[in-house]
A and B are shown apart, each in its own frame.
Chain A
Amino acid sequence: MSCELTQSVLHGYLDGELDAARAADFERHLISCPQCASALETQETLRTSIQQAGLYERAPSTLRRKIESQYGVPAAVTPMRVKAGVRPSSWQWLAVAAALFLAVFLGWRLIPGLGANRAQVELASAIVDAHLRSLQPGHLEDVVSTDQHTVKPWFDGKVNFAPPVRDFAGDGFPLEGGRLDVVEGREVAVLVYGRRKHVINVFVWPMSEADTSPQSGSQLGYNWISWRKAGMEMYAVSDVSPADLDALRKLLSE
């Protein structure tokens, strides 16, 4: 009556953890085992419920500030290097000065609302808005294909640059399509990836500045991560975890 695979292999299949041969075996088994077929449907429903319920709880901003001020590159590091009661020698002062300079420089780069960062926050809002727009029915993709060889040529002649179109289905980020969008008056290419029933939009446009390390943030409950690489600026936005976004960034940067 009861099939033992329901409590074992079915879960490996559901989680994409079986190798190709075992997955194919299980798919054959599903055809002839109503119990597993129904249990799989139940499990998929459960997973959807969990993911749609928004159970992920982000660190409160009080904690984030505390941690960043304690362990991040310090905003005003230095006095702690100078031991009390010991007169600092001149090279130490030099180090202090260098560290202060670094701290001010990093502060200027990292503290929201300062310098270049304000523009970035505005840009991130525009990107999150565009992400929300794309989730309206019928707005997500102009070209629907999981085949990078279909999506890539589709962009030819529509934008005057070549966005890096690659499928990462093997890494859990299947390519689902692409579209054109306009963000802050600039024409951008958008690559659409799936992540376990969630949508990730990757906005791409050309720029001439140097590569940067990733910056990330969240707005309205959506996470974004941005980086510059090889003449392209990219923003990935989604409701998946920041770690997932970072994983996709790494794949796209390879």
Chain B
Amino acid sequence: MSPGGEGEELDVLDSQERERFEQLVLPHLDAAFNLARWILRGRNDAEDVAQEAMLRAFRFFRGFHGGDVRAWLLQIVRNSCYTWLEKNRPMELNTEFDEELYPQPGVTPESLAIAGDNRERLTRALEGLPPRSREVLVLRELEGCSYKEIAAITSMPIGTVMSALARARQRLERALTQANPVRNQEANREL
């Protein structure tokens, strides 16, 4: 079925382990893709990197001895994403959120509800955040991870997850209401 050497190389798990891999790891493929898509901000790159991460997971699977398999896989995905970014778009890793650019807009739930009621605007605001703010939001709000899981995935001390989320949410709030042309005409002055 598979051509020559490639098959040999992948044949590191016996059939029992393959079955375990299929049952435990493959159900989290959506989670893997979703995280990669948001860190890399694109579906095509995410597809490549998620595939590479699955290969790594497959190779490391012997070293996985139970526990939270989703967090284990997402940690591999995240590392693969950052390795890829370093190689292909290193500038992005240094983007800082410019608080000056987004003055605190005096957010009210109403203005936020209006701004958030738009998938495209939310996507743009989220993609405008530095990757490390973006990933904690994605893990928490889209993937429903606990603080403990977020800490494990991002190699962040558990004590700092809460403040990282607080910062990320505040940034998202700002980016969101700032990008709302109804509330702020200045948003039309695109760079």
Contact A243 B163 (CB under 8 A): no
Q: Which of B1, B54, B107 has the most CB atoms of chain A within a 10 A radius of its CB? A: B1
Interface string of A24-68 (1 = CB under 8 A from B): 000000000000001001111111111101111111101110111
Q: Which of B1-26 contact A (CB under 8 A)?
A: 1-2, 4, 7-8, 10-11, 15, 18-19, 21-23, 25-26
A130 to B56, CA, bound (A): 40
Contact A77 B169 (CB under 8 A): no
Contact A196 B144 (CB under 8 A): yes
Assuming the A-B contacts A57-B33, A59-B30, A63-B47, are A42 and B109 also in contact, with contact meaning beta carbons closer than 8 angstroms in the complex? Answer: yes
Interfacial chain A residues near B118, Cβ < 8 Å: 53
Chain B interface size band reads: 35 or more
A241 to B51, CA, bound (A): 20
Contact A46 B112 (CB under 8 A): yes
Determine if A90 is an interface residue (Cβ-Cβ < 8 Å): no
Determine if A7 is an interface residue (Cβ-Cβ < 8 Å): yes
Determine if B132 is an interface residue (Cβ-Cβ < 8 Å): no
Chain A interface size band reads: 35 or more
The number of residue pairs between A and B whose CB atoms lie closer than 8 Å in the complex comes to 167
Interfacial chain A residues near B10, Cβ < 8 Å: 70-71, 80
Interfacial chain B residues near A47, Cβ < 8 Å: 141
Contact B113 A49 (CB under 8 A): yes
Q: Which of A8, A42, A242 contacts B112 (CB 8 A)?
A: A42
Interface string of A2-40 (1 = CB under 8 A from B): 000001111110010100000000000000000000100
Determine if B34 is an interface residue (Cβ-Cβ < 8 Å): yes
Q: Which of B86-94, B119-127, B183-191 contacts A (4 or more CB under 8 A)?
A: B119-127
Interface string of B65-101 (1 = CB under 8 A from A): 0000010000000000000000000000000000000
Interfacial chain A residues near B152, Cβ < 8 Å: none
Contact B169 A53 (CB under 8 A): no
Interfacial chain B residues near A240, Cβ < 8 Å: 144
Contact A71 B30 (CB under 8 A): no
Contact A80 B34 (CB under 8 A): no
Q: Which of B7, B47, B165 contacts A15 (CB 8 A)?
A: B165
A68 to B23, CA, bound (A): 11
Q: Which of B113-149 contact A (CB under 8 A)?
A: 113, 115-119, 122-123, 126, 137, 140-144, 146-147
Contact A57 B43 (CB under 8 A): yes
Main secondary structure on A side of the interface with B: helix
Q: Shortest Cβ distance from B123 into chain A, in angstroms? A: 7
Assuming the A-B contacts A11-B166, A15-B165, A51-B141, are A241 and B116 also in contact, with contact meaning beta carbons closer than 8 angstroms in the complex? Answer: no
What residue in chain B is nearest A110 (Cβ atoms)?
B22
Determine if A213 is an interface residue (Cβ-Cβ < 8 Å): yes
Determine if A181 is an interface residue (Cβ-Cβ < 8 Å): no
Determine if A84 is an interface residue (Cβ-Cβ < 8 Å): yes
Interfacial chain B residues near A54, Cβ < 8 Å: 119
Contact B26 A71 (CB under 8 A): yes
Listed by A's residue number, 23 A-B pairs whose Cβ atoms lie within 8 Å are A15-B162, A17-B146, A38-B109, A42-B109, A42-B112, A46-B176, A49-B116, A54-B119, A57-B37, A57-B38, A57-B46, A59-B47, A63-B29, A63-B51, A67-B54, A71-B55, A74-B18, A79-B7, A80-B2, A80-B10, A213-B23, A242-B31, A243-B27
Q: Which 5 residue pairs of A and B lie closest in terms of their CB atoms, listed nearest first?
A: A49-B116, A80-B7, A59-B33, A45-B109, A53-B119
